[in-house]
Structures are given as structure tokens and as C-alpha cells.
Structure 1
Amino acid sequence: MKKEILLLGDKRLYDKSQEVIEDELESINEIVGDLHDTLMGFRQAYGVGRAIAAPQIGQFKRLIYMHIDKPVVIINPVLSFFDDEMMEVMDDCMSFPNLLVKVKRHKRCKLSYINEKWESCSIVFEGDLSELIQHEYDHLDGILATMRAESVKDLFIKQ
């Protein structure tokens, strides 16, 4: 079911999410369905959207749903970096759809996680997908892109 996305200013967005335990897998499937419907609804409204984190719909579990070519369910992710090479990007977010934030992100990263079958997985990301997963991962820790801006001069209204 399509859910309301929490917007910038909602104090809940700053809460840290809890790990999912295997016994919760059945209830997580319902949240995954809500994340899918919400992401697709956002795409229809704005023409963009590749991933969404559970806290954005008020579910404070360490869960990310990504849908680029196919759906990927990411449970209890752990992010690691290969080096210190950074890139500067204009970050956008479903929680502030008309705002861009200039931030620095790692150019490459590795994501280890559990999938919807409770199997261990990992993916290496580079470039824009590295930025995307770092952005979604931040949501799980209550961090928004606006908090990563170096100054208020790094905030831009989309035109």
C-alpha cells in the first residue's frame, strides 16, 4: 500500500532504525510491499526514484528497497569503503522532493546485507549507485543529506 513519505522537518526522520531479526521476516514482507508501492507512486508523480528506506515511511527498521532493473530488498546493511576517493554530487531525496543538496560521497562502496530469503549478500557500487546507497543507508541512521551539506550555500531549489 502506498504510504505517506515523511518530509523534511519531521523529527522522526532523525531517529536511528533498529535491526531486523529473522522472526520479523513475515512482517518485513508487508513493509517491502509498502516501500515498493510508495516508490512507484513517487516515480509516477515526479518521474524519479530508485530506492527508498523504511524510515521514510515511518518504519524504523534497517531496511532499504531498491528498484532499478529489478527489485532488491536490503535488510540490515553494512556499508564499507575501499578507499578515500570522494565525489561531489547534487543529492535529492523523496523527503524533500524540490531541494538539491551538494554533498561529498565515496566514489565506491561495498554493501553487505541480508535479502528477503534471509541469505547473506553483497554488492559493490560505484558512481551514482554508490551515492544512492550511501544516501539510503544514512536514512537508517537518522542522517539526511541536508546534514551533510558543508554550508547553507550548498542547498538549491529544483527548478
Structure 2
Amino acid sequence: MKTLNDLLQLGDPRLYEVCEPVQENELPMVKEWVADLHNVMEEIRAKYKFGRGIAAPQLGIMKRLIYLNLNTPSGSVPYIIINPVFENLSEELFELWDDCMSFPNLLVKVKRHQSLTIKYLDENWQPKVWKVEGAISELLQHEFDHLEGILCTMRAIDNQSFKWRPTPDSN
């Protein structure tokens, strides 16, 4: 089982690599990869108090796999996203301070598309289509970038778009 110590940190050359598609014969391994992604996300949440999604390459799994765990009024909802493709990216953009588990104390101001459609395969290799906007659109763009070897530091609006995350106990 992978742990927080296995999370690749800013500067690791693997974070800048384009990932390979998951092959159907690798589907049995997806369950193990997702368990690792979930475990590390829970450790990040406990330590840094954030985390809704993680991409496989952040654990050195160089595959096109994203794991989301979203809190909803009815509870926690996991999403396993295999070989995603984006369509219908909105022209409308919005700015936000992005964070990343691979450099948890740094925030980066970026622009993201307000909405998009994502096509992907689920954990049963079934095709899915999901139209998203706002916070989920931003989250998926961030995680998809990891699959392309792109970090939010590379999408900074300008050279003043960086700041340290306030510690949870600071006012």
C-alpha cells in the first residue's frame, strides 16, 4: 500500500511526463492503484486539510487514471476516471488559487474553463460522459493536467501568482 511518503514532490521529473493510456488488460490493477490513491488522499486530508482528487502519476503510476472523492450532502462519492478526454471546453474562464498535493503549502493563481464535458471509462471499462462546471470543472482540469505532465505552476497567470498556504491554526 502506497503512503504519503510515496507522493511525488515538485521537481520530480516524472511529474512532467505524459502518461500512457490504461489498457483493458490492466483493469485488474486499477483497483489496487485506486486503493493507493485513496489512501494517500486520506493522508493528505488528515495532514493538510484539503484534497478532492489525485492523479495516478502523483504516485509514480504513469497511467491516465484520476481518482476523485467528493463530499456531497449524501456522503462521500468516489469517481474512478480512466483515459479521460475533454470536449466542449467553455470560452468563459475563471481565476482561482489552485493547490496541489505534490506541493501542499504552495498556492498558484491560474485560469480554468468554467465548464467542460469529460468522456472516460469507469472501473468496469464502461464509457461515461459527465458535463461539469465550476469547482468540479477546475478540479478535473487540474488532475487532467497531471496526466499531460503539466503542473499548475506552469499555468500561473503571471510571476506574482504564487503564495504560501496559510497554516490551519493561523488567523
Normalised TM-score (structure 1): 0.97
Find the counterpart in structure 1 of residue 40 from structure 2.
38
Find the counterpart in structure 1 of residue 8 from structure 2.
6
CA distance in 1, matches of 2:46, 2:132: 26
Q: Give aligned pairs, total.
A: 159
CA distance in 1, matches of 2:85, 2:50: 26
Q: For residues 10-159 of structure 1, what are the structure 2 equivalents within 5 Å?
A: 10-68=12-70, 69-159=76-166
SS at the partner of 1:66? strand
SS at the partner of 1:152? coil
CA contact (8 A) 1:81 1:106 kept: no
Normalised TM-score (structure 2): 0.90
* Amino acid in the other structure paired with 2:124: K
Measure how far apart 1:27 and its partner are: 1.2
Runs of 4+ in 1 over 4 A off after TM superposition: none
Taking only aligned residues, the RMSD between alpha carbons, in angstroms, comes to 1.0
Q: Deviations over 1:39-58 (max 9, x none)?
A: 11111111110000000000
What runs of 5+ residues in structure 1 fail to find an aligned partner?
A: none
Find the counterpart in structure 1 of residue 169 from structure 2.
none
SS at the partner of 1:134? helix
